[in-house]
Amino acid sequence: MHTYLIAGGAGFIGSHLCKRLINQHKIICVDNFATGSRGNLSELIDNDRFELIDADICHLDKIHQLKTTPITHILNLACPASPDQYMQAPIATLMTSVQGSHSLLNLAKHHKSKYIFFSTSEVYGDADSLPTTEKYLGQTDTLSDRACYIEGKRSAETLTHLFRHKFQIPTTVLRVFNTYGPNMQTTDGRVVSNFIMAALQESPLRIDGDGHQTRSFCYIDDLIDAIELILDKPDFGPFNVGASRQTTINELATKIKTLCLSSSPLINQPTRAHDPKKRQPCTESFKAATGWSPTIDLDEGLNKTIQYFKGLS
Contact between residue 28 and residue 4 where contact means Cβ atoms under 8 Å apart = yes
The answer to whether 136 is a known catalytic residue is no
In angstroms, what CA-CA distances link 122 with 178, 240, 278?
10, 11, 11
Question: With binding defined as CB under 6 A, does residue 272 bind ligand UDP?
Answer: yes
Question: With binding defined as CB under 6 A, does residue 283 bind ligand NAD?
Answer: no
Residue 200 to residue 208: CA distance in whole angstroms: 19
Contact between residue 85 and residue 146 where contact means Cβ atoms under 8 Å apart = no
Peptide bond into 238 cis (omega under 30): yes
Residues present in the chain in total: 313
In angstroms, what CA-CA distances link 277 with 155, 231, 268?
24, 32, 16
* Total residues interacting with ligand UDP, rule: CB under 6 A: 14
Question: With binding defined as CB under 6 A, does residue 78 bind ligand NAD?
Answer: yes
* Total residues interacting with ligand NAD, rule: CB under 6 A: 29
Closer residue to ligand UDP, CB minimum distance, 192 or 231: 192
Spell out, one character per residue from 31 to 70, where the chain touches ligand UDP: x when CB under 6 A holds, - when not.
----------------------------------------
Choose one: 29-37, 43-51, 133-141, 254-262; the region binding ligand NAD (CB under 6 A).
29-37
**Contacts of ligand UDP in 187-216 (CB under 6 A):** 190-191, 194, 206-208, 213, 215
Catalytic residue among 4, 86, 149, 219: 149
Q: How far is the CB of 213 from ligand NAD (least distance, A)?
A: 15
DSSP β-bridge partners for residue 249: none
Closer residue to ligand NAD, CB minimum distance, 7 or 200: 7
What is the full DSSP assignment across 143-211? TSTTHHHHHHHHHHHHHHHHHHHHH---EEEEEEPPEE-TT--TTS--HHHHHHHHHHTTPPEEEETTS
Query: Where on the chain is the footprint of ligand NAD (CB under 6 A)?
Result: 7-8, 10-14, 30-36, 56-58, 77-81, 96, 100, 118, 120, 176, 178-179
The residues annotated with a catalytic role in the active site are: 149
